[in-house]
Amino acid sequence: MTEQVFIKDFIYELICTESRLTMANRAYYGLQNHMKSRIISRNTKTLLYKTLIRPVLTYGAETWVLSKQDEHRLSIFERKILRRIYGPVMDVGRWRIRTNQELYQQCGENDTVKFCKLSRLRWAGHVIRQDDDDLSRRVLLSEPGGKRPRGRPRLRWEDGVEEDVARLGCMESSRPKPGRMEETPKGDRGPPWAVAPLKRRVDMY
């Protein structure tokens, strides 16, 4: 019984964005002295964030089902740290807070939400390329029986993957265009998004 409770708590901490935000916040406050230091450069502080805080925040992000509220909370947390790192800016003789766009231009990388979605796409591609008897692939392609409860259906992990793939423009059509994508070589073609982009590097957003 104790092992079951431990496993249940571990899975909850893995997939719950609120839990990951709490742990990342602890990691951030553990580095407060470094973030406030005037001796450490901004580039070093940004590197500390990317290597010590963001991995804690996005651990297990490949399996997350992100709602708009989750995305908003992740973005707020990240911008809080970036504003601490880069500080205000002088504009027409007055100090002002940097805009969100200015923060991400200074950071020079995708924000946390995009980072999580790209990780989810990488994991989806990894699973769909597995052998037909692989457990993770079988679970992904399975269709559980039973009836859904009344009301609006819950947001599923696959819904997020389909949305991201459609935004990329790689959703499978009746006949893929030559030289751009090919069907998965497995016996079961899988869901509509199970296609592999070829010879083209696509910017996700």
Angle, nearest 10°, between helix axes 100-107 and 68-86? 70
Q: Which two tokens stand for residue 34?
A: 């470094």
Closest CA to 111 of 103, 122, 123: 103
Which are the contacts of 200, defined by CB distance < 8 A and separation ≥ 6?
A: 180
- Write down the pTM of the prediction: 0.73
pLDDT tens sequence across 80-125:
999 999 998 888 889 999 999 999 988 888 889 999 999 999 999 8
pLDDT tens sequence across 52-81:
999 999 998 898 988 899 999 999 999 999
